[in-house]
Structure 1
Amino acid sequence: MHANKLANPGPLGLMGFGMTTILLNIHNAGFFPVTTAIVAMGIFYGGLAQVIAGILEFKKGNTFGVTAFTSYGFFWMTLVGIWLIPSIGHVEATDSTFLGIYLALWGIFTLFMFFGTLRANRGLQFVFASLTVLFFMLSVGNITGNKALLNVAGFEGIICGASAIYLAMAEVLNEQFGRTVLPIGAPKAK
């Protein structure tokens, strides 16, 4: 009898996160304004694709994966909402101080999620450590109005997003070839 093997939804979620993070942080680094490319990626790939990956992690029984992917998927959707909802009226736009508080809450959440990676591979640890730093840099930059810090955070965010893309591709290629093609720093055996 052949066991039903479920596919790994992690690479989908990591790619949705990584590519969207890079696009937004190219803006944060000062290269481009926020454009429809960032907004659309935030809704569909950073948002919807990560939520789908989270639901699939639920099916696999992975509490960390479902919590991370669904949370960050909805992070992207709420961020787009913060940008777009004021344009329909009825709601005051979020000022930079309150946006900083919003980002600080995500930083706290991400710090705790980082602790959850300490038994995982080094690649995942790097993604969550760099994301924690990114959220706090963006938080402080928004609260203080420090444009230079926001630009530096943009470069750090590009690195964070690239690390997620690397990990996604490593998981895909390593599984496809049945060997380590791209190393991810496997955790030590218990």
Structure 2
Amino acid sequence: MSNNSEARRILDQTANPAPLGLMGFGMTTVLLNIHNIGLFELNSMILAMGVFFGGLAQIFAGLHEQKKGNTFAATAFTSYGAFWLSFVALLELPRLGWAPASDDLSMGFYLLMWGIFTGFMFIGTLRLTRALQVVFGTLTLLFFLLAIKDFTGIAFVGRVAGVVGIFCGSSAIYTAMGEVLNELYSKEVLPLGYRK
């Protein structure tokens, strides 16, 4: 080994995994919340999206963000990917006879914990784009509304949560498309509200 040490800079040429994670989150969130407003029943379409796009695709994106050294995105995508997988498991494990079904009280606490986590993640977005602030701000509100619905049994709160969830998921889809199109065209096609 030589006594001369050289500083080497490695250029990261890997793709941005954030749009994949945002799209997986956004599309799955919109579909679940269309159910929450009462348009259709909870069915295999939502569960499959929850496992594969909301769950696995987000975890994949989170692991790639970890390789890029982005702690915030790695934590967010991996956590929300695990949320979708755990949500599907909460619904399916009782049907398979592997665990008792969760009651409204336990689901309320489950959603409350996700709301608290998301509130802390929202604070992190104050150093990021306005678009991500909208995603995480509305997601925090969504989790708290869903928790209130389960704690109180008031169906109207669930429908309000559905509207908030559709907006939240749509804002994630917008953000994902903004990141893709802005990179492709090397200019701001869709404004994301970068900090100055």
Aligned counterpart for 2:18 among listed residues 4, 10, 18: 10
Instruction: Report what 2:113 is aligned to.
Output: 105
Q: Structure 1: any 5+ residue segments left out of the alignment?
A: none
**Structure 2-normalised TM-score?**
0.94
Instruction: Report what 1:56 is aligned to.
Output: 64
What per-residue deviation string (whole Å, max 9, x for no partner) do you get for residues 119-165 of structure 1? 10100010000000000000001110010000110011000000000
Q: Letter of the aligned partner of 1:123 in structure 2? A: A
Q: Letter of the aligned partner of 1:156 in structure 2? A: V
Q: Letter of the aligned partner of 1:88 in structure 2? A: L
Q: Residues of 2 paired with 1:141 and 1:182: CA distance?
A: 35
Instruction: Report what 2:82 is aligned to.
Output: 74
Q: 1:185 to 1:4 in 2, by over 3 A?
A: closer
Aligned counterpart for 1:83 among listed residues 76, 91, 98: 91
Q: Residues of 1 paired with 2:116 and 2:75: CA distance?
A: 14
Instruction: Report what 1:20 is aligned to.
Output: 28
RMSD: 1.2
Q: CA deviation at 1:38?
A: 0.1
Q: CA deviation at 1:4?
A: 4.2
Aligned counterpart for 2:174 among listed residues 149, 161, 166: 166
Q: Residues of 2 paired with 1:90 and 1:162: CA distance?
A: 35
Q: CA deviation at 1:3?
A: 3.3
> In terms of Rg, which structure is larger?
2
Q: How many residues align?
A: 188
Q: CA deviation at 1:97?
A: 1.3
Instruction: Report what 1:92 is aligned to.
Output: 100
Q: 1:111 to 1:2 in 2, by over 3 A?
A: closer
- Structure 1 position 125 matched with structure 2 position 133: yes
Q: Residues of 1 paired with 2:12 and 2:83: CA distance?
A: 32
What per-residue deviation string (whole Å, max 9, x for no partner) do you get for residues 48-70 of structure 1? 00000000001100000110000
Q: Residues of 1 paired with 2:106 and 2:41: CA distance?
A: 21
Q: Letter of the aligned partner of 1:18 in structure 2? A: G
3-state SS of 1:116 partner: helix
3-state SS of 2:52 partner: helix
Q: Structure 2: any 5+ residue segments left out of the alignment?
A: 1-8
Aligned counterpart for 1:178 among listed residues 182, 186, 193: 186
Q: CA deviation at 1:2?
A: 8.9
Q: Residues of 1 paired with 2:12 and 2:68: CA distance?
A: 12
Q: Residues of 2 paired with 1:17 and 1:144: CA distance?
A: 27
Q: Residues of 1 paired with 2:27 and 2:93: CA distance?
A: 24
What per-residue deviation string (whole Å, max 9, x for no partner) do you get for residues 64-110 of structure 1? 01100000000000000000000121421000111011000000000
Q: Letter of the aligned partner of 1:89 in structure 2? A: G
Q: Residues of 2 paired with 1:157 and 1:88: CA distance?
A: 28
Give the % identical residues: 56
Residues 128-167 of structure 1 aligned to structure 2 (within 5 Å)? 128-167=136-175
